[in-house]
């Protein structure tokens, strides 16, 4: 069944580090906890079995309110160029359903990396837009984390 293109999120950014360092920041629980989530969120816990078929679970805490969780399964783990996994909220909004995230890394000029993110399978445009905002803020934090010095 074909998916509506409007329900796919695509983002591209350039990060100031080589693909191996970016891949590590995307997959190492300690690194991930430093940049994951929208502005103001903290990440008290990241559990990850980084292998195809392995599971992960991230606890997110908003600036105000109770923590909540997202979880999924790694579908493809190909360091340092590709990571693909399912993404589902454990306490879902009625408009949520499991999506699939693909992160592709490509070496770029000056020891930097072009990251292309695709997240597919959103049920509503409202949820796609919410994820776009969250990813944009998260990737901005990742970029700052990777800056030299």
Q: Tell me if 92 is assigned to some domain.
A: yes
pLDDT class of 127 with cuts at 50, 70, 90: very high
CATH of the domain at 142: 3.30.530.20
Total count of domains within the chain: 1
Render the burial of 34-60: b for 16+ CB within 10 Å, e for the rest. ebbbbeebebeebebebeeeeebebbb
| Structural domain includes residue 2 | no
In a domain, 108, yes or no: yes
Give residue-wise pLDDT tens across range 13-45.
999 999 999 999 999 999 999 999 999 999 999
Q: Give the pLDDT band of residue 110 (cuts 50, 70, 90).
A: confident
Query: Does 64 fall in a domain?
Result: yes
Q: How far apart are CA 93 and CA 68, in angstroms?
A: 12
Confidence band of 75 (pLDDT split at 50, 70, 90): very high
What's this model's pTM, rounded to 2 decimal places? Answer: 0.93
- 1 inside domain: no
24: containing domain = 9-146
Given a contact cutoff of 8 angstroms between Cβ atoms, the answer to whether 74 and 51 are in contact is: yes
For residue 110, the SS3 value is coil
Residue 61 included in any domain: yes
Tell whether 4 is covered by a domain.
Answer: no
Assigned domain for 57 exists: yes
């Amino acid at each position: 069944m074909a998916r509506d293109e409007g329900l796919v999120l695509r983002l591209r950014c350039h990060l100031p580090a080589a693909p191996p360092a970016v891949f590590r920041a995307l997959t190492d629980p300690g690194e991930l906890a430093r940049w994951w989530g929208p502005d103001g969120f903290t990440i008290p816990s990241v559990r990850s079995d980084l292998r195809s078929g392995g599971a992960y679970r991230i606890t997110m805490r908003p600036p105000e309110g109770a923590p909540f969780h997202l979880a999924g399964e790694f579908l493809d783990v190909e360091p340092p160029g590709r990571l693909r996994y399912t993404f589902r909220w454990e306490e879902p909004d009625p408009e949520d359903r499991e999506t699939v995230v693909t992160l592709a890394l490509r070496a770029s000029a000056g020891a930097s990396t072009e990251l292309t993110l695709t997240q597919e399978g959103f049920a509503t445009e409202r949820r796609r837009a919410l994820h776009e905002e969250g990813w944009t803020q998260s990737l901005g934090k990742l970029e700052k984390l990777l800056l030299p010095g």
